Chain A
């Protein structure tokens, strides 16, 4: 069983990102689970979500205290996210405009803000970074591009199709391994 924790700020779309990842696991022939932590929601407050993927039934229902992957939706949260807990050899995936390396952990970086803006994925709150981040995380997990596309098409069959697929694809091919 593979465990992922998403750390972000309220309004960045972490719930949808967790749902996309769990759905992608199912599309990929596995079991998937998305377990967002719902607090007293406020825009801008730190939020988190657990995601699990497994070839067999998932029984865990806790919050991913020591995940194999930590997805950090803002570079401002890197330190806080990692200190919340990560497995000893866990990997960090960071949304940042420039390369970032986390000490003692393999780190991947993707510029989801720029990719979302360039694709025209912008809401009143700013760029819709969860779609490029979905592509980037799938690349790190070696989930095939066709699964990424299928998952997005299933979720939004008639909505922003070209922009969504473009942004997810761009992130898939530009997410970069920074360390180890």
Chain B
């Protein structure tokens, strides 16, 4: 049996290696900073015959996702990636993929949105696609990006719903870290070949996503809503089985740190949530019983798991790297409050927006912010 390999790679390269390990069939791609290095790596793998897939260069992100939708409908395992305005340009096609029940997996490398231009990370891009019917993971390390892409393909193909795997531009995508690559035979055991229940086939002509009357349309939408919620146990099962096979664990719908006895709970996603572990240690040294709750899944929102994990009477400090325009604060806080309303009156929720456009979020800064929020 082969042993796992540890190599030094960037988050973007880790993503490309996971896609290769998933043995994808089709990769449509269009470059946008900071995602471009994923597509460059995949294009090189196809060119060097390391990856037996069709790479389709296209003229824009809208076409990239249309090509992904078409290939998926033809029964292929498909991956693409984008960032920021590229994701916004895909907006219409995001609905086409979810409504068409096509298990495309896409990385969105989080980047602030134009205008004005910024290259660096915040989470406005992915959170702005909350209502498109995609399952959304948010990852906090290179290793988690690798692990999650494999879990994403599995879940997507079980429920026939596309999955977006999000991680921060530069802080993860261009960050060189050790990556454990499990033996291919283990990955193949975790993620068997895609066997679509149905596919477009010229030998047996059929059509899909045709015009519907209200009674059919409403049923399709109702099934999509139901099946997105039904993905939660499958997300947990994928995380558990991935752990059983590879020994690696990033959490399932949520990840926690020093949470059991916490009175003050920080809640955040992506790379800032990794750094927050160090802020929690700082606060603990100052005598504050602090803990971390990091949702890996933000859609479907893991309300039950969060509710179960939150200690009694906790003050939850939601650190949002996005704006919920029209409200005072961010979207994560709004999601959390909506889950808690009428169910956990013992919990207090406080919220700050920070790190917009890549503003550096240090462990000391976030510990100080949490202290200041305690006094509010």
Contact = CB atoms under 8 A, between A and B. Distances in A.
B174 A61 contact: no
Contacts of B360: 62-63, 65
Contact of B278 (A22, A38, A59, A63): A59
Interface stretch (A27-35, A104-112, A121-129, A164-172): A27-35
Interface residues of B, number: 25
Given A33-B176, A38-B170, A65-B362, A26 B8 contact: yes
A60 B178 contact: no
Contact of A61 (B6, B34, B172): B172
B177 interface: yes
- For the residues of B in contact with A, the DSSP-based class is mixed
Contacts of A26: 6, 8, 178
Given A61-B272, A61-B274, A22 B174 contact: no
B168 A40 contact: no
A59 B178 contact: no
A165 B54 CA distance: 41
A142 to B, nearest CB: 21
Interface string B349-367: 0000000000011111000
Instruction: State which size class the interface on A falls in.
Output: 20 to 34
B6 A59 contact: no
Given A26-B8, A63-B360, A33 B274 contact: no
B175 interface: yes
A23 interface: yes
B119 to A, nearest CB: 7
Contact of B8 (A32, A36, A65, A66): A32
A60 B363 contact: yes
Interface string B127-159: 000000000000001000000000000000000
B8 A61 contact: no
Interface of A: 18-19, 22-23, 26, 31-40, 58-63, 65-66
Interface of B: 6, 8, 34, 119, 141, 168, 170-172, 174-178, 271-272, 274-275, 277-278, 360-364
17 contacts: A22-B176, A32-B177, A32-B178, A34-B175, A35-B171, A37-B170, A38-B34, A58-B177, A59-B141, A59-B274, A59-B277, A60-B274, A61-B171, A62-B360, A62-B361, A63-B360, A65-B362
